[in-house]
């Protein structure tokens, strides 16, 4: 049989969580593990390499549902087909976005986002373009160099484009469901939108509920949908000291410790 690995070791070798590996295996048939003498799932070197290829393809913008059953040689071809990213690409895309914003041109802004997605992959678009762009807009808005109309245009274009990306990666009927939202008075939704895109890339069936949802509504949504996970984006929890207590009271009993995901640049634990 050769060397074999447990799912924990497999996660460490590939950079994927054990939970994601189980989803890809059970929901999408991406792996065919063997059984040890004690009937535990074990994985071979070939499956380690296959998972690395799948992760690279997903990070580059492919949906796991579309590539999970491709032969490893085709996955390798996908990796080869990804053009290396020139070092100046990111700053070029950011500059083009800022220029489009200055001219109040939504068409130019969306075109730049499309080109960035093609060149950098979806994760690259999010991490190297969208997040820095939003930070730049926030700084400009506070300082007065970005007008309200410009900020609204960026929000509208980016919201629509991220929605298109997520819609292009529908989860299968058997895919586990994740709800994504922000709690009440949390109006900044882009963290949640990006979480929804990443979850869809990882094979989840995503229900995006928008921002500013009261805790009792979140609890009802989890119950009604049978969601396996809940993702919350929280930007300014310090403005509302009762938020954490409210969320624990309303939603905490629905989620196991590894099934709730909370994110935000100013999150304090």
Q: How many domains does the chain have?
A: 3
Looking at the fold, whether 20 and 103 belong to one and the same domain comes out as: no
Determine contact, residues 216/247, Cβ cutoff 8 Å: no
Q: Residue 269 falls within a domain, yes or no?
A: no
Of 174, 236, 162, residue with least CA distance to 205: 174
Q: Residue 254 falls within a domain, yes or no?
A: yes
CA distances from 77 to 51, 53, 133, 169 (A): 15, 10, 32, 21
Looking at the fold, whether 135 and 151 belong to one and the same domain comes out as: yes
Looking at the fold, whether 116 and 190 belong to one and the same domain comes out as: no
Looking at the fold, whether 223 and 152 belong to one and the same domain comes out as: no
Q: What is the domain extent for residue 211?
A: 170-263
Predicted local distance difference test score (pLDDT) of residue 35: 86
Q: Which residues pair with 231 in a beta bridge?
A: 180, 261
Looking at the fold, whether 111 and 175 belong to one and the same domain comes out as: no
Looking at the fold, whether 212 and 259 belong to one and the same domain comes out as: yes
Environment class of residue 225 by beta-carbon count within 10 Å: exposed (0-12), middle (13-18) or buried (19+)?
Answer: middle
CATH number of the domain to which 20 belongs? 1.10.1660.10
Q: Residue 125 falls within a domain, yes or no?
A: yes
Cα Rg for the chain, rounded, in angstroms? Answer: 20
Which of 121, 137, 166 corresponds to the end of one domain?
166
In the three-class reduction of DSSP (H, G, I as helix; E, B as strand; rest coil), residue 43 is classed as strand
CA distance 5 to 16: 14
Predicted local distance difference test score (pLDDT) of residue 109: 94
Predicted local distance difference test score (pLDDT) of residue 86: 47
Of 209, 203, 208, residue with least CA distance to 174: 203
Predicted local distance difference test score (pLDDT) of residue 24: 87
Predicted local distance difference test score (pLDDT) of residue 158: 95
Which of 143, 166, 189 corresponds to the end of one domain?
166
Looking at the fold, whether 253 and 193 belong to one and the same domain comes out as: yes
Q: Residue 142 falls within a domain, yes or no?
A: yes
Q: Residue 205 falls within a domain, yes or no?
A: yes
Element (H, E) at 96: helix 89-102
In order along its 269 residues, the chain shows pLDDT tens digits of 567 888 888 887 887 777 788 888 888 889 988 888 888 888 999 999 999 899 888 877 777 888 889 998 888 888 766 544 444 457 789 999 999 999 999 999 998 998 888 778 788 899 999 999 999 999 999 999 999 999 999 999 999 999 888 887 766 677 889 999 998 888 889 999 999 999 888 888 899 999 999 988 999 999 899 998 899 888 765 566 777 777 766 666 665 544 555 555 544 44
Looking at the fold, whether 258 and 179 belong to one and the same domain comes out as: yes
Predicted local distance difference test score (pLDDT) of residue 257: 46
Which of 131, 166, 201 corresponds to the end of one domain?
166
Looking at the fold, whether 153 and 180 belong to one and the same domain comes out as: no
Looking at the fold, whether 160 and 236 belong to one and the same domain comes out as: no
Element (H, E) at 221: helix 215-225
CATH number of the domain to which 211 belongs? 3.40.50.280
Q: Residue 131 falls within a domain, yes or no?
A: yes
Q: What is the SS3 string spanning 181-195?
A: ECECCCCCCHHHHHH
Predicted local distance difference test score (pLDDT) of residue 165: 84
Looking at the fold, whether 174 and 249 belong to one and the same domain comes out as: yes
């Amino acid at each position: 049989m050769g060397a074999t690995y447990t799912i924990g070791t497999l996660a460490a070798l590939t950079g994927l969580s054990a939970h994601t590996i189980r989803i890809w295996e059970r929901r999408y048939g991406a792996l065919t593990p063997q059984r040890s003498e004690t009937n535990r799932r074990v994985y071979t070197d070939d499956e380690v390499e296959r998972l690395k290829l799948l992760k690279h393809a997903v990070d580059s913008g492919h949906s796991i549902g579309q590539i999970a059953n491709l032969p490893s040689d085709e996955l390798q071809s996908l990796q080869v087909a990804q053009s290396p990213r020139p070092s100046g690409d990111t700053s070029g895309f950011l500059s083009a976005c800022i220029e489009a914003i200055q001219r109040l041109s939504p068409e130019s802004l969306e075109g730049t986002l499309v080109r960035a997605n093609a060149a950098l992959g979806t994760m690259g678009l999010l991490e190297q373009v969208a997040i820095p762009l939003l930070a730049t807009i926030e700084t400009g808005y506070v300082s007065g160099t970005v007008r309200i109309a410009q900020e609204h245009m960026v929000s509208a274009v980016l919201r629509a484009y991220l929605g298109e990306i997520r819609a292009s990666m529908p989860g299968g009927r058997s895919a586990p469901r994740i709800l994504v939202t922000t709690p009440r008075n949390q109006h900044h939704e882009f963290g949640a939108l990006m979480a929804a895109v990443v979850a869809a890339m990882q094979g989840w069936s995503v229900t995006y509920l928008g921002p500013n949802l009261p805790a009792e509504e979140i609890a009802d949504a989890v119950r009604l949908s049978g969601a396996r996970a809940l993702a919350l984006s929280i930007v300014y929890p310090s403005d509302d000291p009762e938020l954490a207590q409210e969320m624990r009271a309303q939603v905490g009993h629905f989620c196991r410790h590894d099934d709730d995901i909370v994110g935000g640049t100013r999150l304090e634990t």
